[in-house]
Structure 1
């Protein structure tokens, strides 16, 4: 599975599990909500810096966001 899809799926699942809106996560990560929406729908290419910001907002290791589930 391509990394962009894995990241999108993991961000969306974790955000919903924490009961956060896109707006709330975007605020926590210091990014724009529309950009986060594009990330979750695989329409945006993502930099390492963005992955790090989102991981910090979730308080997880960035590698967790790129880990494919079996």
Structure 2
């Protein structure tokens, strides 16, 4: 999963700590999400979108791998 949280956070001039406080998680959690080491729960994804004034779809993109059988079609 690819996310735009770092870019959105910086464009609104939030530190990781401030975003963490506003969403009720730790700064380490925000860091892990931004570095694609942790996928947030659906509830946290919606909370992040709310705090960053955007949509979940704008924050996250699922980069689905293409299967060999799909390439052949």
How high is the TM-score relative to the length of structure 1? 0.76
More helix by share: 1
- Pairs aligned (count): 62
Please show how residues 1-70 of structure 1 align to structure 2 within 5 Å: 3=1, 6-7=2-3, 10-67=4-61
Distance in 2 of aligned mates of 1:61 and 1:28: 16
Gaps of 5+ in 2: 63-73
Distance 2:54 2:39 in 1: 21
SS at match of 2:36: coil
More strand by share: 2
Q: CA deviation at 1:45?
A: 2.4
Larger Rg: 2
Residues 24-70 of structure 1: CA distance to partner in whole angstroms, max 9, x if unpaired?
111111211111111111111222111111011112122111258xx
The normalised TM-score by structure 2 is 0.74
| Mapped partners of 1:61, 1:41: distance in 2 | 20
Unaligned ranges ≥5, structure 1? none
